[in-house]
Amino acid sequence: MTTNADVSTAASVLSVRNLVKRYAGQPVLSGIDLDVAEHEVVVLIGASGSGKSTLLRCVNLLEELDDGQVFLDGVDISDPRVDADVARRAMGVVFQAFNLFPHLSVVDNVTLAPRVVHGVSRELAEARALELLDRVGLANRARSYPDRLSGGQQQRVAIVRALAYDPRLLLFDEITSALDPELVGEVLALVRELAGQGRTILMATHEMGFARQVADRVCFLDGGVLVESGPPEQVLGDPVHERTRQFLRRIIDAGRL
């Protein structure tokens, strides 16, 4: 059995230690320990409300932690003396509802962070953006506005926006949950390609089939606790914990695995 213990903190891109988060006194995350090594794809599974999204938001410092630490490349970014805006530059986040900026064209959405945050010139940033958009088949939509794009196209733009400054770590928060079923495939294909390129990815998803194919490691969260973690064939095929089995049974009953 593989656990996160055999990945040493030093080699990890991301290390989460004893992370605790409460909303109005109610614990949402109760002491999470998690490591993501370079080039690793770690998939978080669990029912709605299990804490997957909160964990991702805490890693990106979009939420204030109640306890614990978050290390990015060995640096404790949860330290209040660390500038969160600087720490976030090394992470790219893609949200469930895309969250593209509706008043900016596709190419302006993509080049915003490189230009404004990373100081890249407009020419260079646009050339890079067009190259990335071309790779996801959307170069011809570069001057369009987000509301003219399908959900799948918007989500691909959102992924490109997160890639545009070459972050060390990608955080994907249920990025296919808001899509029509026929549009899920195009987004998952892109994630598969990124995993193939050796990107370091931490993602929450309900797509179990996809998790089985692409994940290096699957982590099952339940009630804010990391119940079980290991290779996908073990966690999804032969889980150790009863709670994991129950969750997977419900998923299978729903026809999603």
Partner 1 sequence: MQRERLAFRRSRSRRSTAVALVSTLVFAAVAWFGVTSAPGWPRVRQSFFSLDAAVRALPAVLEGLWLNVRVLVVCEALILVLGVLIAALRTLRGPVWFPVRALATGYVDLFRGLPLIICLYLIGFGLPGLRLTGIPNDPVLLGGIALVLVYSAYVAEVFRAGIESVHPSQLAAARSLGLNHRRTMRIVVLPQAVRRVLPALLNDFVALQKDCGLISVLGAVDAVRAAQIASATSYNFTPYVLAGLLFVLLAVPSARLADWAARRLARRQGLA
- When asked if residue 234 is in the footprint of partner 1 (CB under 8 A), the reply is no
- When asked if residue 203 is in the footprint of partner 1 (CB under 8 A), the reply is no
- When asked if residue 88 is in the footprint of partner 1 (CB under 8 A), the reply is yes
- When asked if residue 80 is in the footprint of partner 1 (CB under 8 A), the reply is no
Please pick, from the candidates 103, 123, 182, 197, the single residue that binds partner 1 as defined by CB under 8 A. 103
Identify which range of 16-24, 89-97, 132-140, 224-232 contacts partner 1 by CB under 8 A: 89-97
Cβ distance to partner 1 smaller for residue 91 or 236: 91
- Measured from the CB of residue 223, what is the shortest distance to partner 1 in angstroms? 24
- When asked if residue 29 is in the footprint of partner 1 (CB under 8 A), the reply is no
| DSSP tag of 140 | G
3-state secondary structure of 11: helix
- When asked if residue 255 is in the footprint of partner 1 (CB under 8 A), the reply is no
The mark string for 156-175 relative to partner 1 (x by CB under 8 A, - otherwise) is -----xx--x----------
Name the nearest CA neighbour of 106 among 154, 65, 67.
Answer: 154
Please pick, from the candidates 4, 50, 54, 60, the single residue that binds partner 1 as defined by CB under 8 A. 60
- When asked if residue 81 is in the footprint of partner 1 (CB under 8 A), the reply is no
Q: Looking only at Cα atoms, what is the longest distance across the chain?
A: 55
| Total residues binding partner 1 (CB under 8 A) | 26
Cβ distance to partner 1 smaller for residue 109 or 205: 109
Name the nearest CA neighbour of 169 among 1, 4, 15.
Answer: 15
- When asked if residue 124 is in the footprint of partner 1 (CB under 8 A), the reply is no
Q: In 3-state terms, the chain is what percent helix, strand and coil (to 5)?
A: 40, 25, 35
What is the distance in angstroms between the CA of the first residue and the CA of the last residue of the chain? 22
Q: What is the DSSP annotation of 194-257?
A: HHHTT--EEEE-S-HHHHHHH-SEEEEEETTEEEEEE-HHHHHHS-SSHHHHHHHHHHHHTT--
- What lies within 8 Å, CB to CB, of 176 at 6+ separation is 155, 184, 187, 188, 205, 206, 207
Identify which range of 88-96, 149-157, 215-223, 238-246 contacts partner 1 by CB under 8 A: 88-96
Interface contacts to partner 1, rule CB under 8 A: 57, 60, 62, 85-86, 88-89, 91-93, 95, 97, 99-103, 112-113, 116-118, 147, 161-162, 165
